[in-house]
Structure 1
């Protein structure tokens, strides 16, 4: 996954960001993504688990532990060092890109 073109999808970015504070189970990830994205991103369960499976297969996250809760298996996912570096690099990339637009402009400057 780290060999792809620069930038993570917004969904993947927020899934990884949700895991920065520690391991979470799927439902908690969905809720944290909604909170972190201020409601812009809602992940259907199938979409989330497909993304989690891909991220785990690529070593970006790992399963921390499993437990039974209300008769169902609950898996807790943890971001790996590679995933942590990836999401932080993406944050820096987006910050630099945003600074191009958000920095103060001098009056009269043109590129003509």
Structure 2
């Protein structure tokens, strides 16, 4: 993995994390927004501007790829690089959680 990609994406923003998590299956921007609301019991609501800006940057950086258009909606999916970045972030989150459990709340 390119050092620049690692520096930019790890640690990830919540927006970036949820986008990559949702794009393990093909999806479009509105679908991602709805899925994140569902997964977080509406505690997190991605704004269209932030989400579409992130999608554009992630596509440019090779973390996601445009695969097709359906009903005027762009469908994206995570790439191998995106999976690698997501796995790094998941390991980081697991380490944080493990440390909290060891020290106590």
TM-score (norm: length of structure 2): 0.85
Structure 2: which 5+ runs fail to align? Answer: none
Are 1:16 and 2:20 an aligned pair? yes
1:100 is aligned to 99
Asked if 2 retains the 8 angstrom alpha-carbon contact of 1:65 and 1:77, the reply is yes
> For each residue in 1:39-87, what CA deviation from the matched residue of structure 2 results, as whole angstroms up to 9, or x when unmatched?
22211112211110000000000101013x2xxx111010000001111
Q: 2 CA distance for matches of 1:39 and 1:103?
A: 30
Q: 1 CA distance for matches of 2:81 and 2:93?
A: 18
| Structure with greater proportional helix content | 2
Task: Find runs of 4+ consecutive structure 1 residues off by over 3 angstroms.
Answer: none
Number of residue pairs the alignment of both structures matches: 100
Q: 1 CA distance for matches of 2:6 and 2:90?
A: 17
TM-score (norm: length of structure 1): 0.80
Q: 2 CA distance for matches of 1:90 and 1:37?
A: 18
Q: 2 CA distance for matches of 1:65 and 1:38?
A: 29
| Structure with greater proportional strand content | 1
1:77 is aligned to 76
Larger C-alpha radius of gyration, 1 or 2?
1
Secondary structure, counterpart of 2:77 in structure 1: strand
